[in-house]
Amino acid sequence: MTTVLTPASPLTAADRCDRCGAQAYLRVVLASGGELLFCAHHGRKFEPELKKIAVEIQDETGRLTATTSATASPEER
């Protein structure tokens, strides 16, 4: 069986964790065709089990620690 995945769109503030309702930073695409969204906390908590059932994991948790010169002054970094 061949699965063709289309590129996932970036997660937005409107995407919420299926476990707690916080902002989602992980999208887990399942072999069944469904998807689950998780906040960084629950993504880390369930990561070992998710890796067993996921076809693809879109991880945007790096956005939590990333800063850019446009948003942070040198004193804030």
Residue 16, pLDDT score: 98
Residue 8, pLDDT score: 72
Question: How many H-runs (helices) and E-runs (strands) does the chain carry?
Answer: 1, 3
Residue 55, pLDDT score: 96
Domain borders along the chain are 15-56
What would the pLDDT profile of 65-76 be if each residue is shown by its tens digit? 976 655 665 565
Residue 9, class by beta-carbon neighbours within 10 Å (0-12 exposed, 13-18 middle, 19+ buried)? Answer: exposed
What would the pLDDT profile of 43-68 be if each residue is shown by its tens digit? 999 999 999 999 999 999 999 997 66
Q: What is the pTM assigned to this prediction?
A: 0.75
